[in-house]
Copies of this chain bind each other. A is one copy, B any other.
């Protein structure tokens, strides 16, 4: 296991410390939609993404949940929200550089999900 420095001394990084780090991640990224939204936005950094577009393309999410989750992600500096002076007004959402740091997480989840589906299918 890795060594880390704390309280001025080197000591063994114990499992507890790893679990606490994971708890931090899950507090910020956990729940049904946050990682989905981040993945969606990260896949489309070359496009302007509006609220309604996300609601249409992220299957199953309601306006209420989308609105709430977007606020949470913005507070944690993972996405930005920009009102555009169009008529009717539109709001452009995009991932921040920091938000892009979540990509390895969503990538492992996508890969695991694909593999899991294969495993389920071949077990029938």
Residues of A within 8 A of B (CB): 1, 15-16, 18-26, 28-30, 32, 35-36, 39-40, 43-44, 57-59, 98, 101-102, 104-117, 119
Contacts and interface: CB of A to CB of B under 8 A. Distances in A.
Copy number in this complex?
2
A104 B110 contact: no
Q: Do most interface residues of chain A lie in helix, strand or loop, or is the interface mixed?
A: helix
3 pairs of A and B residues whose beta carbons are closest in the complex: A21-B113, A25-B113, A24-B113
A96 B43 CA distance: 33
Q: Which of A98, A101, A113, A114 has the most CB of B within 10 A?
A: A113
Contact of A28 (B1, B20, B44, B116): B116
A63 B118 CA distance: 33
